[in-house]
Amino acid sequence: MSATISQAALRELVGGLIAQGKRVAGPCEVKPGCVLYAPLVSSAQLVLEGFIRPANSLKEFIFPKHEELYGYRITGQGIELTEVEPLRAEQVLIAARPCDAAALPILDRVFNWDYKDELYNSRRQLTTIVTLACAAHDDACFCTSVGLGPAAERGSDALLLELGGGEYEVRCLTGKGKSLFDGKLQASERVASLPSGPEKRFEAAVVRAFVKENLESPFWPAQTLACLGCGACAYTCPTCHCFDIVDEGNIERGVRARNWDSCQFALFTLHASGHNPRPNQPSRQRQRIDHKFRIYPEKFGEILCTGCGNCARNCPVGMGVLRVVATLESSASGSAR
């Protein structure tokens, strides 16, 4: 026995949520051939099939690329601070990929470690995430190598699985998921078969051991020469979460805001003295792998990667975590032999 919903009913549900004034976002073909997670203004914009995954990540609905922290005004007497409006708008993220949803519990840790990030946490609480299991994967996908899979339930409030014929099996995983689909589901005999995932490409433990022992290895410059130092990988990664804090305004007033930042930029580690501890692209690429497979796991017990493959698909020169890590594994096993 399972609970199911038809595609038409799902779209109706989405249309209803939009009509209620909720912010609804999901995969949307923003232009021919380019599917991104984007706010939907009508349920017809929701794209459910015909692509591997959106080119951006879901994190921007929880941890936006630009967020105002507070405002300030310089008066004759001093500085006045103004709080930002507390967040109230509920949002529903629909047809998210499991690799995007799984990133959020991983991010929860860093945003609630020494400092509880209110903006992040309130967005998390106000958000319901409905994932759609992947029916297809491409050669950039590697969720199975980091302990996830095409139907991973982690981070989802409800999981949809394709049954064929425009029907989805719905697995409500949390209270939020249950209340979203309350009264909308049909009982059915059909049970979705689990979709097959990509082949396992590497052992995360081997990667971790390699980066720990090979910080100065010639592997890094040799494998990362092509990197041009843009932030396309980090900014479309569901788990990359570095940010920069800036003041923007004029001599009278302004805002303090946080913007995404990336360890691939030269300025990321530049000291005021002019010294840069990561002076070149190989050291920055190494940092990216090191952070994902050693530093984060050591600190929070989780790999900072969900295997979505966005880094590879968006890299203008065909790199990405998988390509670096897969070559690293072969050179690690090579040195062990």
Which residues contribute to the site for other proteins (CB under 8 A)? 28, 30-34, 36, 38-41, 45, 55-56, 60, 65-66, 221, 225-226, 228-232, 234-236, 244, 246, 248, 250, 257, 259-260, 262, 265, 267, 280-282, 314-319, 323
Nearer of residues 23 and 178 to other proteins, judged by Cβ: 23
4 vs 57, which CB is nearer to other proteins? 57
Q: How far is the CB of 36 from other proteins (least distance, A)?
A: 7
Do 207 and 295 form a contact (C-beta atoms < 8 A)?
A: no
Q: How far is the CB of 39 from other proteins (least distance, A)?
A: 7
Q: CB-wise, 207 or 315, nearer to other proteins?
A: 315
Strands 186-188 and 2-6 turn out to be: antiparallel
For residues 172 and 166, is the Cβ–Cβ distance under 8 A?
no
> What does the alpha-carbon distance between residue 269 and residue 290 come to, in Å, rounded to a whole number?
15
* CA distances (Å), origin 155, targets 64, 99, 102, 196: 18, 9, 5, 20
CA distance linking residue 305 with residue 321, whole number of Å: 9
Task: Report the residue number, 9 or 55, with the smaller CB distance to other proteins.
Answer: 55
Choice between 248 and 298, CB closer to other proteins = 248
Return all residues near 144 (Cβ < 8 A) that are at least 6 apart.
197, 198, 199, 200, 201, 307
CB of 259 to other proteins, least distance (A): 5
**Cα separation of the two ends of the chain:** 51
Smallest distance from other proteins to CB 268, Å: 11
CB of 239 to other proteins, least distance (A): 15
